[in-house]
Amino acid sequence: MPGIVVPFGDDVSAVPLNANEVSVLKTDMLVAQTDVPKGMTLFQAGRKAIVMNVSDFAAKGVAPRAALVSLGLPHSLKSSDLEDIARGLNAGAREYGTYIVGGDTGEACDLVVAVNLFGVSAKTGMMLRTGVHVGDVLAVTGLFGKPAAGLKIIKGGCEATLDVRKSLLNSVCNPVARLQEGLALRGSGAVSGSIDSSDGLAWCLHELSAQSGVGFLVSVLPVAEEVAGFAEQNQLDASELVLYGGEEYELVVTVDPKRWAKAEAAAAAAGGKLLPIGKATRGRRVLLEVGGKRRVIEARGYEHFKGC
Amino acid sequence: MPGIVVPFGDDVSAVPLNANEVSVLKTDMLVAQTDVPKGMTLFQAGRKAIVMNVSDFAAKGVAPRAALVSLGLPHSLKSSDLEDIARGLNAGAREYGTYIVGGDTGEACDLVVAVNLFGVSAKTGMMLRTGVHVGDVLAVTGLFGKPAAGLKIIKGGCEATLDVRKSLLNSVCNPVARLQEGLALRGSGAVSGSIDSSDGLAWCLHELSAQSGVGFLVSVLPVAEEVAGFAEQNQLDASELVLYGGEEYELVVTVDPKRWAKAEAAAAAAGGKLLPIGKATRGRRVLLEVGGKRRVIEARGYEHFKGC
């Protein structure tokens, strides 16, 4: 499409509306075999399908105005199952201030929930993957690794205390999109680049690196407390869970260091937080330096658990 | 959603943009097991997924501005298969003057193509399912029954001459959306109600009847020439193929009789045609009267051929 505002391959697409505004569009499809782990209810699956999409809007700093849903439904579903999915979809939409205004249903071999979000944004100021500058502070809106650890519990073979287990499973079944943080961060004018972390932290960093032509040096691994304990108890590498997990919906942003205080204050005012974890560097390498040791963060992404 | 412009359940959804304009949204999902019959190529399947959605925009008289596509892909697909689907999607989009601006891919048990269309429309003048008045002329943009007959050939057991066979199969594999006709008809200001016929002619009439609170008397059955011959040759009831088929993308509209000439001229100027087939009546009955005999047109819809 000529005159495109958001580069192809960013978290959302945008279509010019007038001189100052664009319509923002996103679609992401939830498929039961890969996106609905054992133990997740259909209500939760419906809600998750919304969260997955809202998170991409959050990363760009755009509020969703309306959602459409295409449902592919297997024969085996009962009408009460469909009601559960619909309630979950609606709950997710209302949670993020939007409405489901239409959609379509059809038959499919597996449950498929394709959500489409629509929003309107000023043409300028959207937080893209392409805006990172060398020297920018790398920051995240929360700690990582809980969904990856939770999925290990679901697959079996790992141990956890009751409290930790509950927290990790909750992160899988009830993910949260950082919409308020994203809107506030954009409003602060301090953010140069942004992406959502649904494909895993390592993958995000490589995406920002490729799109902006910079490298990253991560000096603080943002490990969730429960994940540190869980990794130790099960003799797992916590950094694996943090870097190469996925299905988590934090924002990974870069901030002009002179405006760091503004960005941090904006996230806090939105009820969230912004944690510095490193900086953008020259070159294209994505490195981790903890305890004086440097190692490469690989360009591995989150691999969907296969259930088919 | 408060302040909704297009009633829930119409062909498209609309979200207010400003005092005069709405954004128009549509999603419809193509699933291989039900929407891709034997013999349809992946290129054709991709193109059909676009046509299905464009047809709904056509029925409202709205031009699509952009499309997004969510693809669910089975393991068995090769990368050349994916290229075929993508080429078909792009060909469909360009055919109707729009672009694919983004999307998502994931794994699924069956090929799933969820297309989302976006457009902008004046708030007033959209051709809804709710606007039909008693006495309006009922009209269609083309003749019916070819896809239903084509599907019978694909299933086997029916005969047809080579020419007829080719025409019927072509109607299944290369459907056409009446976008130019829809835009022109809206522009004429003569259309009171409109729907696309993808669920079958009978189903459309019952939908218009329910949404507008009118009945219909169909006095001319719009049988495609090939369908009449095919039905005779195979001892089938042509009216079954015409009324209870589906997967065809004509527009079924109603026109203020005083403005009939305007509507007809608009369709012709767009390179199409508008064929009167009956009128809107008091009450809610949907009747066929041919050769002095009246019978009820049942509220049966198109049933997807099951292949799963």
DSSP string, A118-171: EEEEESS----TT---TTPEEEESS-B-HHHHHHHHHHSS----HHHHHHHHHH
Residues A68 and A160 in one domain: no
Residues A19 and A153 in one domain: no
Residues A264 and A151 in one domain: yes
Residues B157 and B284 in one domain: yes
pLDDT of amino acid A9: 84
Contact B213, B143 (CB under 8 A): no
pLDDT of amino acid A294: 96
* Boundary (domain end) residue, out of B92, B122, B152: B122
Q: Which of B66, B101, B108 sits opposite A112 (nearest CB)?
A: B108
Residues A115 and A179 in one domain: no
What type of residue sits at position B231? A
Q: Residues in chain A with pLDDT < 70?
A: 302-308
- pLDDT of B305 higher than 50: no
Residues A200 and A283 in one domain: yes
What mean pLDDT is predicted for residues B138-163? 96
In a domain, A269, yes or no: yes
pLDDT of amino acid A302: 62
Residues A110 and A142 in one domain: no
Residues B168 and B281 in one domain: yes
What type of residue sits at position A293? K
In a domain, B238, yes or no: yes
pLDDT in tens, B101-120: 999 999 999 999 999 999 99
> Judging by DSSP bridges, how do beta strands A191-196 and A100-107 pair with one another?
unpaired
Residue range of the domain that includes A144? 137-296
Q: Which of A34, A104, A306 sits opposite B27 (nearest CB)?
A: A104
> A with B: how many residue pairs have Cβ under 8 Å apart?
159
Q: Which of A297, A74, A104 is nearest to A207 (CA)?
A: A297
| CATH number of the domain bearing residue B238 | 3.90.650.10
**CB within 8 Å: B28 and A4:** no
Residues A277 and A181 in one domain: yes
Residues B172 and B288 in one domain: yes
What does pTM read for this prediction?
0.93
- pLDDT of B301 higher than 90: no
Tokens 């669920």 appear where? B199
Per the document, the length of chain A is 308
Which residues from chain A sit within 8 angstroms of residue B75, using beta carbons?
A: 308
Q: Choose the mutation target among A8, A29, A111, A115 for the interface with B, i.e. most B CBs under 10 Å.
A: A29
| CATH number of the domain bearing residue B17 | 3.30.1330.10
pLDDT of amino acid B302: 62
**CB within 8 Å: A17 and B17:** yes
CA–CA min distance B11, chain A (Å): 9
* Boundary (domain end) residue, out of A122, A151, A185: A122
Global ipTM: 0.90
What is the total count of domains within chain B?
A: 2
State how far the Cα of A109 lies from the Cα of A188, in Å rounded to an integer. Answer: 46
* Boundary (domain end) residue, out of B75, B95, B122: B122
CB atoms within 10 A of CB A41: 14
In a domain, A129, yes or no: no
* Residues in contact with A173: Cβ distance below 8 Å, sequence separation at least 6, in sequence order: A39, A40, A41, A44, A48
